[in-house]
Amino acid sequence: MSGPLGAAALVLLAYLIGAIPFGMLAGRLAGGIDLRRHGSQRTGATNALRTLGLRWAAAVFVLDVGKGVAATLLARGLYVAAPAGSPEWVVAACGVAAVVGHNWSVFIGFGGGRGVATSAGGLLGISPLTLAAVVPLVALVVWRTRFVSLGSLVAATAAPLITAVLAAMSMVGWAAVAYALGAGILIVVSHTDNLTRLRSGTERRIGEREVVRSDGRG
């Protein structure tokens, strides 16, 4: 693929990959549970952990990370263009599109998750050094506070800064910075309700389970 039409087609494909609602599928397999009706009403791994348990949450997390990896690697493998550097910008755009698809999936009425795992997958495909630096930071924040949302917000803020440092050192391209910034903004936007609860002291900590009745209702 090449040119604007090829880039547009890949961005659309990346969105559709990101839009695959693995959390919803896991809920159905786990007993007909609709994650959009429980907990945070999101379809990502954190709500799956609270609602479905660790095994299902781990599966959702890995699959959601895989969406970001697949979107970026497909773009890198399929897009060919004459202008120097343009494929990297298409890869970055596809990474952002996958996060948009995850957060606002066309398959489930434009609902979805918060984009953290899919963003991490995109970083793995675009700037693995950034991911390697961000993961220990997030782990420390979550370990000390038990707030997954706070760790996610720290990651969204730190990733663009770390990637910019790497770009200044010519270790990654500036398209990677654009991806980290775009994905970070999407993560922050999707966490506005968490920010409100963090300020009010009502945010749930990791390990707190959502009670779900046998009929799939809370």
Give me the DSSP letters along 138-166. HHHHHHHH--HHHHHHHHHHHHHHHHHHH
pLDDT above 80 for 46: yes
CA 122 to CA 131: how far, in whole Å?
9
Q: Is 111 helix (H, G, I), strand (E, B) or coil?
A: strand
pLDDT above 60 for 202: yes
Distance, C-alpha 78 to centroid of its chain: 22
Q: Is 201 helix (H, G, I), strand (E, B) or coil?
A: coil
pLDDT tens-digit map of 149-194: 999 999 999 999 999 999 999 999 999 999 999 999 999 999 999 9
Structure tokens at 165: 């440092």
CA 211 to CA 133: how far, in whole Å?
35
Q: Among 36-40, 60-64, 211-215, whose mean pLDDT is lowest? A: 211-215
Structure tokens at 186: 């999407």
Q: Angle at CA 111, nearest 5°, toward 108 and 116?
A: 120
Q: In this predicted structure, what is the pLDDT of residue 120? A: 97
Q: Is 6 exposed, middle or buried (0-12, 13-18, 19+ CB in 10 A)?
A: middle
Q: In this predicted structure, what is the pLDDT of residue 40? A: 83
Q: In this predicted structure, what is the pLDDT of residue 31? A: 86
Q: In this predicted structure, what is the pLDDT of residue 39? A: 82
pLDDT tens-digit map of 77-124: 998 876 666 889 999 999 999 999 999 999 999 999 999 999 999 999
Cα–Cα distances in angstroms (integers) from residue 106 to residues 17, 48, 72, 210, in the given order: 11, 20, 20, 26
pLDDT above 90 for 50: no
Which residue, among 59, 199, 215, has the nearest Cα to 43 in the 3D structure? 59
pLDDT tens-digit map of 117-141: 999 999 999 999 999 999 999 999 9
pLDDT above 50 for 214: no
CA 213 to CA 33: how far, in whole Å?
9
Q: In this predicted structure, what is the pLDDT of residue 82? A: 66
Strand partners, 111: 105
Q: Is 105 helix (H, G, I), strand (E, B) or coil?
A: strand
CA 213 to CA 161: how far, in whole Å?
44
Q: In this predicted structure, what is the pLDDT of residue 211? A: 55
Stretch 7-23: mean pLDDT: 96
Q: In this predicted structure, what is the pLDDT of residue 41? A: 87
CB count within 10 Å of CB 173 equals: 19
